[in-house]
């Protein structure tokens, strides 16, 4: 039988056949790797989009579980797709079989490839090579497998589309909440109406409470009364871990959504409600230079970022007999946001607290608290109301809960209460302001100036 | 014996010779193209054929015609219930010489030929049927402790009558397994029957011309048989044949292992008592090689294996009672197995 390529040597012809099969094999393997790459990317993008959407839609605990499940499923899917791509890898024998099938060469190529490496090939080997080479146009690589992109690109395109739709839609859907996060108001409630429980390990909301010793003592007593077994919970490491994980999830959720992180330093400051003094009057007092310490009677001082929500929930009338005022009023009277940095505010808060405990500050309760240390403010109107630590109002900043704790992701966390004084310390008692005879005023003033 | 030098045949020579023999046979045999091709295929593959067909379909005529076309020595044994093994293999007889001495001398039986026709083999007792086993498998017969070689090529064609079953002895599985193919001769269709009538009832009968000369015929056939063996089979083809054979073995048969890649068709598990033996796989590959040469190829393809599978495997599969009651034939099983193995192809 005459063949057009009869002049070529057998080895060259064999090389030609193997080269064409190798070319087909490379194309097939390229498709396999493309498949793995596209599917891995698609799965990662879809998982990311699901987590992103979940950050908006789910509470911290749901988000934590959902994200973990999504990541596990994504990991399984990626491993599966890689394994599948690995199985799609084409060996020389398989490539030859595919060539035979597509070019209808009746297993000529498979036989050549299988027997090429063997030393004893039989008397018909040269005939087989010649016969196969005569069909070389039929099994050229472009005819068998054209260069193309793997069908996995559709999965990637679908994933990108899903992500492209889910990201902006989530933001648009939750735009009111995001906008509301820019304004923050105060919450004012009465201490007697406040439900307290001890913070569990890991449940660090960053909230600190400082108040005059009597108020703090009341808070402590209330805490002990309401949570007699609070000490046992400290050892509950599982709950602590859960809370820690929830906090982490919450922080991640906040980062994704751009909302304020739930774990922020919140500084609550408790003090005497200042009797009948107007808040502006307090602010104008000489002690107002201590504004940086935010000592204001009857107010919690909060440390929240500018994005946190503030609103003033008036629990009845406030200490001044006035209706609840917007946050701007509070800022005027020394209640201002200190959300610039947690560490700074934390230090500040602790300083405030320590000074309260030492009792050397004038901010230890009463209307004149914080004013009497200034000689210029020594003489004012006599105290009308009975002094003491009763009847305080507590202002608490809180975030708005539009859908309840479950959907907002911000569960109610009571303030962490510190023990104000040790056993050797005595709380300062407010000094009642009395009328001073005009002839003694200069003497008293001199004493205080000294 | 004179050694005849025969030129090494090529692939083209093989196909040409094959087609020529086929044409000579078809001068007498009308129709039965596939049967004739399978018969010749078995001849060149070095196997033996079991021909099953109702009376009058040309079984004996086919074999006789083939013998004439090949110009090889041909014997015919009519198997009956009183036929003895010695009647097939030969026996030692006492012969008197001219000087009056009497010696035992071996008288070869009809088995000593190139082409042996065992007509209605299922009418003989199993003992007599088994007398052919050694001859078919090893090309030798042993009589009274002495082994006698049979001259190659050796080709046994046995016929079976499937409808007259009274007084017959179905062939044992071991003997069935030694036949490379089982060929079925069905009733001819109308046009074939018309041609048969006109060719056999006229004044002249068709004359078959031998393809080979008497001296060259055995060597020619042997060289062609050697060429068949030289056809290449890729490992994938051998695996495919092995899978086909294993797929005929039901789960509880002694042939089946728990290999994960084994393909089991529900039909096999339901109807097959015993599947094909390894000889089935050999038959598949050898038959495929002949078909590849006829197609002008030096390698076998799956199509070649599939084409010969029914003839090579059907008679090796033992069906159970359920198959008989449901009218399931072994060829159906093989066709189903081919489909399932093809579907499971990697």
pLDDT tens-digit map of B77-92: 998 889 898 888 888 8
> Looking at the structure, do residues A142 and A31 belong to the same domain, yes or no?
yes
Which residues pair with residue B148 across a beta bridge? B141
Asked if residue A2 belongs to a domain, the reply is no
> Looking at the structure, do residues B183 and B34 belong to the same domain, yes or no?
yes
Helix (H) or strand (E) holding A10: helix A10-57
Which phi-psi region, left, alpha or beta, contains residue A146 (left: φ > 0; alpha: ψ -120 to 50)? beta
CB contact under 8 A, B303 and A110: no
> Looking at the structure, do residues B182 and B52 belong to the same domain, yes or no?
yes
Asked if residue B35 belongs to a domain, the reply is yes
Q: Count of domains in chain A? A: 2
> Looking at the structure, do residues B158 and B268 belong to the same domain, yes or no?
no
Q: Are B184 and B35 in contact (CB under 8 A)?
A: yes
d(CA A332, CA A335): 7
Tell me how many degrees the CA angle A443-A444-A449 measures, rounded to the nearest 5.
100
Residue A445: per-residue pLDDT: 82
d(CA B102, CA B55): 46
pLDDT band, very low/low/confident/very high, at A296 (cuts 50, 70, 90):
very low
Q: Record the tokens describing residue B214, joined without a space.
A: 């008497």
Q: Calculate the average pLDDT of chain A.
A: 67
Chain A residues in contact with B234 by the CB 8 A cut-off are 107, 110-111, 113-115
Chain A residues in contact with B305 by the CB 8 A cut-off are none
> Looking at the structure, do residues B215 and B272 belong to the same domain, yes or no?
no
> Looking at the structure, do residues B170 and B145 belong to the same domain, yes or no?
yes
Chain B residues in contact with A121 by the CB 8 A cut-off are 232
Which residues pair with residue A187 across a beta bridge? A313
> Looking at the structure, do residues B219 and B237 belong to the same domain, yes or no?
no
Asked if residue B256 belongs to a domain, the reply is yes
Asked if residue B270 belongs to a domain, the reply is yes
> Looking at the structure, do residues B321 and B252 belong to the same domain, yes or no?
yes
Q: How far is A43 from chain B (nearest CA, A)?
A: 28
pLDDT tens-digit map of A189-247: 566 666 655 555 445 455 556 667 777 777 777 777 766 655 444 446 777 777 777 77
Residue of A nearest to B12 (CA): A1
Q: How far is B78 from chain A (nearest CA, A)?
A: 42
Residue B300: per-residue pLDDT: 93
Q: Which residue range is the domain that position A124 belongs to?
A: 10-173
Q: Count of domains in chain B? A: 2
**Of A173, A203, A227, which residue is a domain's last?**
A173
Give the domain CATH number at B192. 3.40.50.300
Chain B residues in contact with A107 by the CB 8 A cut-off are 234, 236-237, 299-302
Nearest to B172 by CA among B144, B217, B133, B206: B133
Asked if residue B297 belongs to a domain, the reply is yes
Asked if residue A4 belongs to a domain, the reply is no
Chain A residues in contact with B235 by the CB 8 A cut-off are 93, 114
CA atoms within 13 A on the CB side of B204: 4
> Looking at the structure, do residues B95 and B177 belong to the same domain, yes or no?
yes
Residue of A nearest to B300 (CA): A107
> Looking at the structure, do residues B266 and B298 belong to the same domain, yes or no?
yes
CB contact under 8 A, B234 and A107: yes
- Across A121-130, A182-191, A324-333, A385-394, the highest mean pLDDT is recorded for A121-130
Q: Are A283 and A277 in contact (CB under 8 A)?
A: no
Other CB atoms within a 10 A radius of the CB of residue A404 amount to 10
CB contact under 8 A, A121 and B303: no
Beta strand pairing call for B155-160 and B74-78: unpaired
Which among A1, A111, A123 is the nearest to B299, CB-wise? A111
> Maximum CA pair distance of chain A?
141
Asked if residue B3 belongs to a domain, the reply is no
> Looking at the structure, do residues A395 and A318 belong to the same domain, yes or no?
yes
- Does residue B233 belong to the interface with chain A, where contact is any CB pair within 8 Å? yes
> Looking at the structure, do residues B238 and B191 belong to the same domain, yes or no?
no
Nearest to A353 by CA among A302, A289, A420: A420
- Complex ipTM value: 0.82
Q: How far is A94 from chain B (nearest CA, A)?
A: 9
CB contact under 8 A, A106 and B235: no
> Looking at the structure, do residues A195 and A166 belong to the same domain, yes or no?
no
Asked if residue B141 belongs to a domain, the reply is yes
Chain A residues in contact with B296 by the CB 8 A cut-off are 1, 131
> Looking at the structure, do residues A151 and A190 belong to the same domain, yes or no?
no
pLDDT band, very low/low/confident/very high, at A314 (cuts 50, 70, 90):
very low
Tell which wins on pLDDT, B133 or A421: B133
Q: Record the tokens describing residue A55, joined without a space.
A: 């950050």
Residue A70: per-residue pLDDT: 93
Q: How far is B3 from chain A (nearest CA, A)?
A: 23
Chain A residues in contact with B10 by the CB 8 A cut-off are 1, 127
Q: How far is A153 from chain B (nearest CA, A)?
A: 25
> Looking at the structure, do residues A298 and A443 belong to the same domain, yes or no?
yes
**Of A173, A197, A232, which residue is a domain's last?**
A173
* Residue A137 in this model has a pLDDT that exceeds 80: yes
Tell which wins on pLDDT, B183 or A337: B183
> Looking at the structure, do residues A191 and A166 belong to the same domain, yes or no?
no
* Residue A6 in this model has a pLDDT that exceeds 70: no
pTM for this entry? 0.63
Give the domain CATH number at B292. 1.10.8.80
> Looking at the structure, do residues B41 and B71 belong to the same domain, yes or no?
yes
Would you give per-residue pLDDT tens digits along chain B (346 residues)?
455 666 788 888 899 999 999 999 988 888 888 889 999 999 999 999 998 888 888 877 888 888 888 888 888 899 888 989 888 888 888 888 888 888 888 888 898 988 898 888 888 888 888 888 888 888 888 888 888 988 888 999 888 877 767 778 888 888 888 899 998 888 888 888 888 888 888 777 668 888 888 888 888 889 999 999 999 998 889 999 998 998 888 864 444 444 545 556 678 888 888 889 899 999 999 999 999 999 999 999 999 999 999 999 999 999 989 988 998 889 999 998 888 888 776 4
Asked if residue B179 belongs to a domain, the reply is yes
> Looking at the structure, do residues B21 and B151 belong to the same domain, yes or no?
yes
CB contact under 8 A, A114 and B300: no
pLDDT tens-digit map of A167-189: 877 777 766 665 555 544 445 55
Residue B143: per-residue pLDDT: 85
Place of tokens 């060469």: A105
> Looking at the structure, do residues A154 and A192 belong to the same domain, yes or no?
no
Chain A residues in contact with B11 by the CB 8 A cut-off are 1, 124, 127
Residue spans of beta strands (DSSP E) within chain B:
49-53, 74-78, 90-96, 102-108, 115-119, 140-143, 146-149, 155-160, 181-185, 272-274, 318-319
Q: How far is B230 from chain A (nearest CA, A)?
A: 6
- Does residue B300 belong to the interface with chain A, where contact is any CB pair within 8 Å? yes
Q: Which residue range is the domain that position B311 belongs to?
A: 231-343
d(CA B321, CA B303): 32
């Amino acid at each position: 039988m005459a063949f057009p390529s009869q002049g070529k040597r057998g080895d060259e012809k064999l090389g030609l056949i193997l080269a064409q099969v190798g070319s087909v094999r490379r194309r097939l393997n390229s498709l396999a790797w493309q498949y793995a790459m596209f599917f891995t990317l698609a799965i990662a993008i879809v998982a990311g989009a699901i987590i992103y959407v979940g950050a908006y839609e789910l509470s911290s605990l749901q988000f934590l579980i959902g994200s973990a499940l999504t990541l596990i499923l994504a990991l399984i899917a990626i491993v599966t797709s890689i394994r599948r791509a690995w199985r799609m890898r084409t060996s020389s024998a398989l490539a030859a079989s595919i060539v035979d099938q597509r070019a209808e060469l009746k297993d000529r190529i498979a036989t050549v490839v299988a027997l090429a490496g063997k030393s004893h090939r039989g008397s018909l080997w040269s005939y087989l090579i010649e016969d196969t080479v005569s069909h070389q146009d039929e099994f050229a690589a472009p005819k068998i497998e054209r260069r193309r992109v793997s069908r996995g690109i559709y999965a990637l395109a679908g994933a990108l589309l899903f992500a492209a739709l889910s990201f902006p839609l989530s933001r648009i859907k939750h735009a009111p909440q995001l906008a509301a996060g820019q304004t923050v108001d105060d919450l004012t409630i009465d201490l007697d109406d406040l439900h307290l429980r001890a913070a569990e390990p890991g449940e660090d909301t960053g909230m600190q409470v400082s108040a005059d010793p009597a108020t703090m003592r009341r808070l402590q007593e209330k805490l002990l009364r309401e949570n007699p077994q609070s000490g046992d919970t400290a050892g509950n490491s599982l709950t602590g871990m859960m809370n820690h994980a929830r906090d982490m999830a919450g922080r991640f959720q906040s980062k994704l959504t751009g909302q304020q992180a739930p774990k922020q330093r919140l500084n609550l400051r408790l003090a005497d409600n200042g009797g009948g003094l107007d808040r502006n009057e307090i602010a104008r007092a000489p002690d107002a230079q201590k504004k940086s310490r935010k000592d204001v009677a009857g107010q919690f001082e909060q440390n929240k970022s500018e994005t946190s929500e503030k609103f003033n929930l008036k629990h009845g009338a406030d200490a001044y007999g006035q209706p609840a005022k917007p946050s701007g009023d509070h800022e005027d009277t020394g209640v201002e946001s200190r959300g610039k940095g947690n560490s700074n505010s934390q230090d500040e808060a602790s300083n405030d607290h320590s000074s309260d405990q030492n009792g050397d500050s004038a901010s230890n309760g009463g209307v004149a608290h914080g004013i009497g240390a200034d000689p210029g403010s020594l003489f004012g109107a006599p105290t009308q109301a009975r002094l003491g630590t009763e009847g305080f109002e507590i202002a608490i900043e809180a975030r708005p809960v539009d859908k309840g704790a479950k959907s907002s992701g911000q569960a109610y966390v009571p303030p962490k209460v510190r023990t104000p004084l040790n056993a050797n310390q005595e709380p300062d008692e407010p000094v009642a302001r009395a009328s001073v005879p005009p002839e003694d005023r200069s003497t008293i003033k001199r004493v205080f100036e000294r | 014996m004179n050694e005849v030098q025969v030129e090494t045949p090529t692939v083209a020579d093989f196909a040409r010779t094959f087609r020529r023999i086929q044409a000579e046979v078809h001068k007498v045999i009308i129709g039965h193209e596939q049967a004739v091709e399978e018969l010749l295929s078995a001849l060149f593959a070095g196997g033996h054929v079991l021909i099953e067909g109702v009376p009058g379909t040309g079984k004996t005529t086919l074999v006789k015609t083939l013998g004439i076309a090949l110009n090889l020595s041909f014997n015919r044994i009519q198997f009956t219930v009183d036929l003895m093994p010695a009647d097939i293999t030969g026996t030692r007889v006492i012969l008197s010489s001219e000087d009056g001495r009497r010696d035992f001398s071996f008288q070869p039986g009809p088995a000593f030929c190139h082409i042996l026709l065992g007509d209605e083999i299922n009418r003989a007792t199993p003992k007599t049927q088994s007398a052919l086993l050694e001859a078919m498998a090893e090309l030798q017969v042993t009589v009274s402790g002495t082994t006698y070689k049979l001259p190659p090529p050796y080709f046994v064609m046995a016929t079976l009558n499937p409808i007259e079953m009274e007084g017959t002895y179905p062939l044992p599985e071991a003997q069935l397994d030694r036949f490379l193919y089982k060929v079925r001769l069905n009733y001819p269709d109308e046009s074939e029957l018309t041609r048969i009538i006109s060719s056999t009832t006229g004044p002249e009968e068709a004359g078959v011309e031998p393809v080979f000369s008497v001296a060259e015929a055995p060597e020619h056939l042997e060289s062609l048989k050697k060429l068949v063996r030289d056809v290449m089979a890729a490992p994938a083809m051998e695996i495919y044949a092995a899978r086909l054979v294993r797929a005929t073995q039901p789960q509880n048969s002694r042939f089946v292992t728990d290999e994960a890649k084994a393909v089991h068709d529900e039909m096999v598990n339901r109807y097959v008592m015993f599947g094909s033996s390894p000889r089935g796989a050999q038959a598949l590959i050898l038959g495929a090689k002949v078909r590849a040469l006829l197609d002008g190829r030096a390698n076998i393809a799956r199509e070649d294996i599939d084409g010969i599978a029914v003839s090579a495997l059907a008679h090796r599969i033992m069906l159970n009672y359920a198959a008989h009651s449901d009218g399931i034939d072994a060829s159906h099983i093989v066709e189903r197995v081919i489909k399932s193995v093809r579907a499971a192809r990697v």
